[in-house]
Amino acid sequence: AIWAERYKDSDTCCVRLKVVDRDDEDDYKKKEIEACKGKSFASISKTFAEKEHFNIRLMLELMKKSEEAASEIKDKNVILFLGGTGTGKSTLIHFLAGSKMEKQAVDDKPHIAPTKIINKALHNVTCRASAKSETKYITAVPIDLKELGVLSIKLENVVLCDTPGFEDTNGPEVDVANGMGIIKALQTCKSVKPVVSISYTALGNRMSCVRELVLTLVRVIQPIQDHLSAFAYVFTKFPGDKKESIHALVDDIYNSIQEEEKDEGYKALLENIADQTEDKVLAPDLLRDSPKILLKELVNAQNFIKNPSKVFHSFLTVKSTSAVNLQVEKHKANILRAFKQHHYPIVQAKLDELTDLQSALKSDTIEKIYRDCINQLTQDWNTQINAAIHTFNKCMEASHSINKEDILAYKKTIDTFKSADPLRKHLSEAICADALIQNVDHQTHHLIKEMEKHMGNELELQIQLDKLEQVGNVFPKFAPAYKEACQTLAKHLTNYVNNAKECLDNYNFEETRKNLESLVKVLSLQSHLLLMCLRKLTDEGLGVIKKAIKDESNFHKEEKDDTFSFFQIEKLGKSDIEQLEMNADILER
């Protein structure tokens, strides 16, 4: 089964599984690998993000945007606009920052939008008539109160901050970035004034829009009851004949829920709204009113939250937490599957995303799942390497010759884990692929030592030399080990000859016989000795020829153009001629 879809029903998060046969699953894996070919780890991550229910990379990019905004609002007095999606926060900020507003018709629906933007920072603040949020990250808009006609206020460094709506329509990525990145940015401010935007078109039953916002605010501002005096409430999109009844509406809702409502934060906020709207309702006409009237109400320095680093707390909504956890679980499944299929770039990309996500969210769940992945991968990694070492050593220590296929399989394991080496930045306890190479070195040296112990056993020597030759053919790095073994054998052969001569000169015929018998046994290995001798003679002959060629590079170049072209050589010396003649004589024999 594979994860086909995630969906929500009310407060319940569910996962729909799709049953597929083996061929379908293999086709799915092939498509994943095909998408990764020729791409960096970063681009691989981006490719698969399009298929995910929670786009981790997008969320991290949005948090980075919040970090950039943090530098703009650090040590500043911030007016923070809060509210659900579509309550008009962005439009309100344009109005307050001096943009010229105009009534338009979009899809036969009335919409107020900026037509002339004065403040350059507002180019990143987009207004749309649709209910879908256009704001994906916190946007800072510094304003000059004096230029806007607010002269009686001594407050300086005022910044208007647009935010995405909590439980945003752009998805959980925006919501998570909202709850984490924005709060971290606000913690760097000098002071913050929360301004709640309440839209007539989104009131809901008993101002349910406020209830939804409170569920978030009580987690962001703790305790919220101690800071309600800093709050302001701006009512947007209210028809002219409805503005006068705003206080009565709020007061009526507040009184009707006293007995049944158990959410103290919701009741406290409604009471605060009722108190503030009793004397004055902030419901500006964006086409006719001057923005300085509303600005004067908002920038009273006495009503800002001081020490925001201690008051504002990062959070995740329940739905966003569920989305994150579901995606992290899916990442784990994808990581383990990709590792099993040796698709290491995918494993690398997804592990990087998990570490970046954990760095941003500091979640025990993410940390646990990441640790589970690391432990499982490390165990599988080390098991495969140890199994390869065990199999290779068993073949090398066996009393029969080794198959070339066994050595090639071992080399394939080495190449595979070398390609996976970048993963070891996550798998700190994984065995390095170099351990496989070191094992070959250990086995070859062990064989040479064993040869010296079994010089009288020609069958054992034959098998050991065959193994060393096979290893040297597959691993050129270890070819000298085979050469060393042949030289050791040649020394013993020379010793047998010399000893036989000496014994014969001393009339020690018994010892002569033993040495000759040993010599005959070693001569049965002449194929290895002859091969080494031929290689030596060939190398010596080539050395003489190369020495004689004056311009070998020109020779090769001319050879391509004319098969019968000549090249100039130096006159060979007497020693060089003797060397060639001797080698030719030996080869003829």
User: Confidence band (pLDDT; 50, 70, 90) for 140?
Assistant: confident
Place 365 in a pLDDT band, splitting at 50, 70 and 90: very high
Token duo for residue 480: 């000298």
Q: How confident is the model at residue 503 (pLDDT cuts 50, 70, 90)?
A: confident
Candidate from 57-71, 357-371, 378-392, 526-540 with smallest mean pLDDT:
526-540
Reduce the secondary structure of 39-52 to three states and give it as a string.
CCHHHHHHHHHCCC
pLDDT at 444 over 80: yes
Instruction: Tell me what the mean pLDDT of segment 203-221 comes to.
Output: 76
Report percent pLDDT > 90 for the chain: 26
Q: Ranked by mean pLDDT, which of 160-164, 212-216, 469-473, 564-568 comes out on top?
A: 469-473
Q: 261 versus 556: which is more confidently predicted?
A: 261
Please provide the average confidence, as pLDDT, over all residues in the chain: 77
| DSSP secondary structure of 277-297 | HHH--B---TTTS-HHHHHHH
Residue with tokens 């007061």: 251
Among 153-167, 270-284, 295-309, where is mean pLDDT lowest? 153-167
CA atoms of 525 and 479, how far apart (whole Å)? 18
pLDDT(168) > 90: no
Q: Most distant CA pair in the chain: distance in Å? A: 135
Query: Given pLDDT bands bounded at 50, 70 and 90, which one contains residue 165?
Result: low
Helix (H) or strand (E) holding 464: helix 458-474
Mean pLDDT value across residues 433-447? 93
Residue with the bigger pLDDT between 269 and 540: it is 269
Per-residue pLDDT, 123: 75
Q: pLDDT confidence of 14, banded at 50, 70, 90?
A: very low
Residue 3 pLDDT grade (very low, low, confident, very high; cuts 50, 70, 90): very low
| Whether residue 587 has pLDDT greater than 50 | no
Q: What average pLDDT does this structure show over 558-573?
A: 48
Least confident of 175-189, 428-442, 484-498: 484-498
Whole-number Å distance between alpha carbons of 398 and 407? 14
Alpha-helix residue ranges (DSSP H) falling in 286-433 = 291-298, 308-311, 318-340, 344-361, 364-397, 404-419
> pLDDT higher for 116 or 573?
116
- Which range is least confidently modeled, 232-241, 270-279, 407-416, 508-517? 508-517
Domains of the chain and CATH, by start: 74-204+230-240+283-311 (3.40.50), 437-588 (no CATH)
**Least confident window among 6-10, 39-43, 65-69:** 6-10
pLDDT confidence of 260, banded at 50, 70, 90?
A: confident
* Average confidence (pLDDT) over 284-309: 87
Ramachandran bin of 68, using left for φ above 0, alpha for ψ from -120 to 50, beta for the remaining angles = alpha
- The predicted pLDDT at position 223 comes to 83
* Number of C-beta neighbours around residue 267 at 10 A: 16
Cα 540 to Cα 209: distance, rounded to the nearest angstrom: 92
Looking at residue 371, its pLDDT comes to 97
Split at pLDDT 50, 70, 90, the class of 372 is very high
Q: Residue 237: helix, strand or coil by DSSP? A: coil
For residue 136, what pLDDT is reported? 61
Sort 317 into a burial class: Cβ within 10 Å, 0-12 / 13-18 / 19+. buried
Task: Provide the residue type at 371 as one letter.
Answer: R
Mean pLDDT calculated for residue range 162-183: 72
- If one compares 426 and 38, the residue with the highest pLDDT of the two is 426
Q: Average pLDDT of 448-477?
A: 84
Give the H/E segment covering residue 14: strand 12-18
For 153, list phi and psi in degrees, rounded to 5.
-100, 130
Residue 343 has pLDDT above 50, yes or no: yes
Closest C-alpha among 566, 528, 570, 567 to residue 547: 570
Does residue 238 surpass a pLDDT of 50? yes
